Amino acid sequence: MRTVTIFGGSGFVGRYIVQKFAENGDQIRIAVGNPLAAQFLKPLGEVGQITLVQASLSSLENLSHIMQGSDVVINLVGILYEKGAQTFERVHVEGAKNIAEIASKLGVPILLHMSALGANKDSHARYASSKARGEEEVLKHFPEATLFRPSVIFGREDSFLNRFAQMACLSPFLPLIGGGKTLFQPIYVGDVAECFFNASFLKESRGKTYELGGPSIYTFKELMVYLLQTIHRKRLLLPLPFGLAKIMGAVAQLLPTPPLTPDQVELLKTDNVLSPKSLKAEELRVQPKALEAIAPLFLARIRPRGG
């Protein structure tokens, strides 16, 4: 039986990774900011198999206590927008550095780190540049870490397809930022979880970076057309120039949970697809499922009654 410590295990991807490792019989510690809010994860394992602990990414002492005796450490912590003290620098760079540094000092055998497709130090999007600098810090302190760069991840609880599906229920149109030309290669959350799980056993994955994407590439517009067809709704697709979208994002980011930020608009200027020569899910013995095979299973609930 292994001891697996998962930082950020209560998020969308985290719950699937927790379930995958729990099914293997691993003892799991889930390190989160608010353990009470993560109680829903306990039924994913047997009684006593899943433990919830409070984590502070800025406290090396706290991290050392949490990771003590771990066979596998997984860092899934990430934010899509900045709010107060939760900045990209603090979470994606400093937090990642601290986890890797302590894992190395404790002699943890395996570190799996969630990054993002498009991570690039030179990106004008702070999200992407912070993810790249986080990768650098992880490999500096833990050279044998395995890094994962997924494209947009979809699934029942995602904040991508679900967000636009809900928007389609309330609005007569859906925005196509930058004309909807940005390319995506969506991957199913269950496949991402399987990649992490398999990598924890494959020695050849140590020190490698994997780009994770599904079998097909779509423009943003194609995804919106497919979404509307799947939920049986007709809506106007309205092209929105990047400049105007940034202005809207600047206003929207004042909300407690902003639907759009200027930084996210900047991200949309770059295609989100796998590099031809990158290591992919297949190298981790995972065959990604098609969007069309999974999305209708959870989007059907958004269809009009009788639709």
- Listing DSSP states for 123-178 in one string gives -SSHHHHHHHHHHHHHHHH-TT-EEEEES-EESTT-SSHHHHHHHHHH-SEEEEEG
Domain count, the chain: 1
Q: What is the mean pLDDT of residues 261-270?
A: 97
Token pair for 267: 């991200």
pLDDT digits (tens, 9 = 90+) for 55-96: 999 999 999 999 999 999 999 999 999 999 999 999 999 999
Position 25 in a domain: yes
Dihedral of the alpha carbons of 77, 79, 82, 85, in degrees to the nearest 10: -20
For 305, counting Cβ atoms within 10 Å of its Cβ (0-12 exposed, 13-18 middle, 19+ buried), the class is exposed
Confidence of residue 130 (pLDDT cuts 50, 70, 90): very high
pLDDT digits (tens, 9 = 90+) for 18-41: 999 999 999 999 999 999 999 999
Q: How far is CA 21 from the centre of its chain?
A: 17
pTM of the model: 0.96
DSSP 278-298: SB-GGGGT--PPPHHHHHHHH
Position 92 in a domain: yes
Q: On the CB side of 122, how many CA atoms lie within 13 Å of its CA?
A: 0
Confidence of residue 307 (pLDDT cuts 50, 70, 90): low
pLDDT of residue 306: 56
List the domain range (segments joined by +) for residue 96: 3-151+188-212+274-288
Position 104 in a domain: yes
Query: For residues 16 and 190, what is the distance between their CA atoms, to the nearest angstrom?
Result: 6
For 209, counting Cβ atoms within 10 Å of its Cβ (0-12 exposed, 13-18 middle, 19+ buried), the class is middle
SS3 at position 28: strand
Position 237 in a domain: no
Phi and psi at 164, nearest 5°, equal -75, -30
Position 241 in a domain: no
pLDDT of residue 7: 98
Spatial neighbors of 153 by CB under 8 A, at least 6 apart, are: 12, 13, 160, 186, 187, 188, 189, 192
CATH, residue 70 = 3.40.50.720
Query: For residues 44 and 20, what is the distance between their CA atoms, to the nearest angstrom?
Result: 9
For the chain, percent of residues with pLDDT exceeding 90: 97
SS3 at position 2: coil
Position 221 in a domain: no
pLDDT of residue 305: 74
SS3 at position 218: strand
Query: For residues 282 and 287, what is the distance between their CA atoms, to the nearest angstrom?
Result: 6
Position 85 in a domain: yes
**Residue 278 reports pLDDT greater than 70:** yes
Confidence of residue 261 (pLDDT cuts 50, 70, 90): very high
**Residue 285 reports pLDDT greater than 80:** yes
Distances 107 to 104, 198, 207 between C-alpha atoms, Å: 5, 21, 15
Position 30 in a domain: yes
Q: What is the mean pLDDT of residues 170-194?
A: 97
